[in-house]
Structure formats: structure tokens, C-alpha cells
A and B are shown apart, each in its own frame.
Chain A
Amino acid sequence: MMELPLAAPPIGTESQLVIAPILVVLVAGVGSLLFGRWPRARIGVSLAGGAAYAVVVAAIDWYVVLAPDAPGIATYQLGDWPAPFGITLVADGLSAFMLTMVAILGIASLVFSTRVLPEIDRRSYYFPLFHFLALGVTGAFLTGDLFNLFVWFEVMLMASYVFVAYYGGPQHTRAAFWYVALNLLASAVFLLGVGGIYATTGTLNMADLARRLAEPAAYGIDPGPVVGLLALLLSVFAIKAGLVPFQFWIPTAYRAAPPQISALLAGATKKVGIYAIIRLSFTVFGDAQVGVDLALPGLGTVVAGNSPTAFVGAALFVMAAASILVGGIGAVGRESIEGVLAYSSIGQVGFIAIPVAIAATTGSAELRHLAIVAALVYALNHTLAKGLLFLAVGAIRSSTGTSRLADLGGLAGRSPPMAIAFFVGSLALVGIPPLSGFFGKFLVFDAAARAELIPVLGLLLVGSLLTIAYATRMWNRSFWGARTPAVENAAVDSVQVGVLIALAAAIVGVGIGFELVYEFADAAATAALDADGYVDAVDPTDPEEIEGLEGGEHE
């Protein structure tokens, strides 16, 4: 037996939990692939996989983050190779928060899917692909190095390509082709960023990267190019998140995909982009020592500090502001519900990016923390509300056969439970007090006010007014007024409506039990900003320390 001279920390229960969600969702995907000839069994395996995933994510939430004696961060070194040589998986507060959002929405979308697919086409690979999409998202949240982030992005994208082309009509193939082309290009740019960072710093492990960038002199590296490389990566993540000017693919792709998948694209894959921006800008590059100072014209803030994060903040301000305006104005005039929602989700990502930008440019640690919490709470609200609304589009489409605003009307009288759920979702998007949306919006405004950014406050206000405008228009056109023939003959599925009601209850629940959610978001923000804790937990071995191994000790 060969024994390696390099020793990794012993593997505990928390460590094994870190890899569990990936394994669970992989088994669910492969399992549902095997049961292709028995549609009922396939659905059973899929649902069981979804439930197991939720249990595992809840276990991570509790044992790693929320329990009184929780370590706050857990790592798993694949194959027992120590970082930075092996592949590291890391679960901390930020990853756990993101995973929880995806788990809630994923289950809702999965249950919904079992009712919406016509006849459950035997030859369709819908359910396996669903799990592989979730696999990519999960991996991206848990991975501890940049190249594996790229790989998980590709896993996620590959499944989403198929979903955009899923219905196979002329407009779907066209939308899918542009979606694929854009993302292939983005992948190449991602590789450029990864290669550049490897050449500059000599490592791709995020913890090792953070450690080296914090003391570039000690490791003999020149961190200057890192600013530009981070900008390259930021553009890639902005494409995934759909920030202006990279938003153009969103409306066509979201309209082409099945609505329950659009819910995931808006609620989960978008959040991967946001997560990557937060993780890289704060945990990895937050302590980087690059001498820069930057004044933002009109905002009156001198970008504090000497970290590339300041550049990210400046770029994010511009992109987020444009997103809020483009998304809001675009959503007001759409002809179909999913068109409104697709544009709305461009605007809402702007609302998530604004506090991230504030956190990146501020000098105060307290405000930085608050702004990250605001971004996370807003992201949670967006996932729940937008997920609910996209699923409602699926329910409306499968019951009335259309989702064009002109062909709808009077849905409120036809199915009051669906109307209530849709109403709750819209109100959460607008930000009415008892719901989750209120706290998200409140924290974002709070962060902007504390940063004393008056133009940003004005922008947020305009964005909120636009949200009210398109939400009321969407509601008035489809749920009020005279019933159209399509609505009169609608056959509403009770399970679909049940899923909508459950999500609406979750939105209300987050609002009422906000203290617990805040605690979780607080832990997530702490984890995102705690670069030292991240480095300590991953504990990358210094190559210098293992010198003298030449020849090796073989036993």
C-alpha cells in the first residue's frame, strides 16, 4: 500500500456533508435516467431525489451554519489530497444560504413538473436533465477552486441549453442557438480569466489565491494584472446573472424554456452568477493588495482601499443602474406574462447588484456587511417570488393554453387560490410589508441611505415605481376584467395550484419569521467577508513546506 507523505485534516461528519448534496443529486439524475422505461418510477425516483436533496441541504444548514456549536465552515478534500493540489469542496454560510434557496425552489419546480408535462413523454430526458441542472448549480456553490467553478458552470449550462430548445419549435431552436453561442463565447472568456490568474498567481484554489493575493510580496507575485482578469471574470458572471449590457439573451431564452424551468433559470442559475461575483470579489479578492484609488463621478465616493474589489463595485454600479432601468421599462410594455417576468428579472438583478456594489466600494466594514445581507435577502425574495410567478405562468398556460395578456382576463374568479398565490408573488416583488420582499427592499434602501448615495436612492425609487407599474398591469390584464373564452374553459390542476400556494406560504413565512432568515443571511454575509476564516478552513499547504520530498518516502 502506498502512503502519501502529504496529510490532509481528518474527515469528520461535517466534511462528508459537504459532498453529500452533489452525490444525492447525481444519484437522482442517473437513477431517473435508468428508469426511462417506467415513467411512474422515474417520477418517483426524481421526487425522492428532490426530497433527499432538501434533507441534505437542511443538514448542512444546521450542522455547518446554524447549530449553536456549528463550525461555520466545512471542507472536503477530494481523494484526501490536501489543498491546493487536490480538488476542494467548501460549504460555508454563503454556499449554504444559496443552496437553501435552490432547494426550496427546486422542489417546487420538480413537483410542478410532474403535473405539467403532457403525458410524461417516455422518451423525454426531462427529469434527468432537471437533476443535472441542479447538479451544476450545486457544484458551483460548493466548489473551492476557479477551474472547477468553470466546469460546474458548463454542467449547468449544458442542461439549460437543452431546456431552452425543449419544445423544439422554430422560435425555441432559434433562441437556443443564440443562447448556446453566447455561452460558448462566455466560456472561452472564462478560460482566459482562469488561465491569466493561474499565470499571475500560480494557483487556482480560491483559499490559496486569497492568501497569496493578501501578501503578494511574500509569494513573489505581481498582483497588478489581477484587476483586469477579475474584470474579465466579472463580465462572464454578469452574463450568467443577466446584468445589462449582457441581458439581451434573457427575454428570448426565458420565453422559450418551459415555465417551470424559467423559474429555475431566474431563481437558481442567475444566483450562481451573483454568488460567483460575491465569492470572488469579497472572499477571494477582498484582501488583495493592489494600489489603486478611484473616485466615482457623481456619487462623490472615493473608492476606499487598495483592492480590485473597488473596480468591481464601480462597474457593478453602472451595470446595476442600467439593469434596473432597462428591465423595468422593458417589462411595462410586454404582451405576455413571461415576457413581463423575463424583463422584470433583469431589473430585479439590478436591485441585487446595487448593494453588492455598495459593499465593494464602501470603506466601512459594518456597512459592507449590511449591504451583503441586503443583497442576499433580496436574492432570496427574488428566487421565491419570481419562481412562484413563473410557475404560475406554467399553471395558466396548461389550464388556458395561452399566456398572452390580450387573451387572458378574469382569472381571479375562475381560480381564486391561483389568484391569491399570484397576488402574493406580485406583492412580494413590489415589496409590501409583511412579505419577504419588504425586508429585501428595505435593507437595500437602508444600505444606499447609509452609504449616502442620493442618486442611487433615486434610482431605486424609480425602479420600485416601475415594478409597481408592471406588476399591477400584469395583474389587471390577466386576473381582473371579463373572462375570455380561454379562461372560461380553463381546467385548473389542483396540484399545480397547491405548489403555488406552498410557495406563497413560504413568502409569507419568510416575512413573518424574518428574524431567523436574517440570522442566516447574517451568517452568510459574515462567511462571505471572512477571507481569513476561509483560508484557515481550507488550509492550503504551502509548496515551500513540502520541499525535500524529492525522491519521496515510500513505505
Chain B
Amino acid sequence: MTAFVLALVVGALFALGTFLLLRRDLIRVVWGLAIISQAANVYLLAMGGIVEGTADTVPVLAGHGEHVPETADPLVQALVLTAIVIGFGMTAFALVLSYRVYEEHDTLDVSDLGDRE
């Protein structure tokens, strides 16, 4: 059931992101990119499988000598954390860049940016 809901959420996020990506307004394009990268993150989390982790998948826990608690797959969490940080940095950069495009071209409309050369 959880897997089904997750699949639905990821699909909906990708659809929304793609829709925004195809807009004429640059800010919407940035929104679309942000949503798509978040969709990829949710998907990545789901890919860890919705099962409990044990000592053989999580050797760090065994190394500390205490009782191994039930845990989600920590690898995907580490991956997603990294991906989120990178994604936020990139989105911030894209926003700054679209502001700069606005300064240079006085518009945020893609079709007014003109042809290349």
C-alpha cells in the first residue's frame, strides 16, 4: 500500500514538474526543476525498500557494540540528504541566474529572450 502511494506521489510530482518546466515564465521553469529534483529524491527514498535494516546491511551499528535497533536503510537516507543539499544549491543558483537574466533582458518570458545569435 505504501509503495503504491509513493509511486503515485512520485508520478504526480514528475508530471507537475514537467508541466512547469514547459511554461514560458523562467521562475516557473525553476520551480519545475526544483519539483523534479524533489521527485527524484522521494523516488530515491522509496528505492531503499520499505523494510527494516539489520546488522548485515548496517555494519556501522554493529561496530558500536550496542543492541542493533530496527532501522530504515541508512544508505538511501545518506544519498537523499546529499542529493537534497545539491538540489537546493542548484535551485538557488538557477534563481539567481534567472534574476540576472531579468536584469539583462528586462523580461522573464522565454519567448522574449530572442533567438540565439
Contacts and interface: CB of A to CB of B under 8 A. Distances in A.
Contact of B37 (A4, A184, A546, A547): A184
Interface residues of B, number: 51
Given A185-B36, A195-B47, A546-B56, A553 B65 contact: yes
Contacts, number: 139
Contact of B44 (A194, A252, A549): A194
B16 interface: no
A180 B97 contact: yes
A291 interface: no
A169 B104 contact: yes
Interface in B43-85: 43-44, 46-49, 54-57, 59-60, 62-68, 75-76, 79, 82-83
Contact of B41 (A151, A174, A180, A191): A191
Interface string A133-167: 00000000000000100110010001001000100
Interface residues of A, number: 49
B68 A551 contact: yes
Contacts of B86: 151, 154, 187
A187 B104 CA distance: 27
Contact of A191 (B40, B49, B54, B97): B40
B94 A195 contact: no
Interface in A497-555: 543-544, 546-547, 549-554
Interface in A168-222: 168-171, 173-177, 180-181, 184-185, 187-189, 191-192, 194-196, 198-199, 204
A365 interface: no
B62 A174 contact: no
A151 B81 CA distance: 12
A177 B101 contact: yes
B100 interface: yes
A1 interface: no
A180 B93 contact: yes
Contacts of A180: 90, 93-94, 97
Contacts of B68: 550-551
Given A4-B63, A169-B104, A192-B43, A185 B97 contact: no
B64 A2 contact: yes
Q: Which of A158, A171, A176, A195 has the most CB of B within 10 A?
A: A195
- Secondary structure class of chain B's binding surface, majority of residues: helix
A552 B62 contact: yes
Contact of A185 (B21, B44, B49, B113): B21
Contacts of A544: 56
Contact of B113 (A147, A174, A181, A187): A174
Contacts of B29: 181
Contacts of A252: 116
Chain A CB within 10 Å — which of B44, B97, B101, B105 has the most?
B97
B40 A198 contact: no
Contacts of A2: 63-65
B24 to A, nearest CB: 13
Interface string A328-358: 0000000000000000000000000000000
B97 A173 contact: yes
Nearest to B63: A4
A457 to B, nearest CB: 35
A242 B30 CA distance: 23
Interface in A1-27: 2, 4-6
Interface in B19-44: 21, 26, 29-30, 33, 36-37, 39-41, 43-44
Contact of A199 (B49, B62, B116): B49
B105 A188 contact: no
Given A187-B90, A198-B48, A549 B55 contact: yes
A38 interface: no
A181 B94 contact: yes
Contacts of B90: 154, 158, 180, 184, 187
A168 to B, nearest CB: 7
Contact of A147 (B46, B65, B82): B82
A2 B59 CA distance: 14
Nearest to A154: B86
Interface in B86-117: 86-87, 89-91, 93-94, 97-98, 100-101, 104-105, 113-114, 116-117
B13 to A, nearest CB: 11
Contacts of A165: 97, 100
A551 B62 contact: yes
Contacts of A194: 44, 79
Contacts of B93: 158, 161, 180
B33 A184 contact: yes
A549 B40 contact: no
Nearest to A148: B82
Contacts of A185: 21, 33, 36
Given A191-B43, A191-B83, A549-B55, A177 B67 contact: no
Given A185-B33, A550-B68, A191 B63 contact: no
Given A151-B86, A184-B91, A251-B116, 6 more contacts: A185-B33, A188-B40, A191-B44, A192-B40, A547-B56, A554-B65
23 contacts: A2-B65, A154-B86, A154-B90, A161-B93, A173-B100, A174-B113, A184-B33, A184-B90, A185-B33, A191-B37, A191-B40, A191-B83, A194-B79, A198-B47, A199-B47, A544-B56, A546-B56, A547-B55, A549-B55, A549-B63, A551-B62, A551-B65, A552-B64
Interface of B: 21, 26, 29-30, 33, 36-37, 39-41, 43-44, 46-49, 54-57, 59-60, 62-68, 75-76, 79, 82-83, 86-87, 89-91, 93-94, 97-98, 100-101, 104-105, 113-114, 116-117
- The 8 nearest A-B residue pairs measured at CB: A554-B65, A195-B47, A199-B47, A191-B40, A552-B65, A549-B62, A188-B40, A195-B44
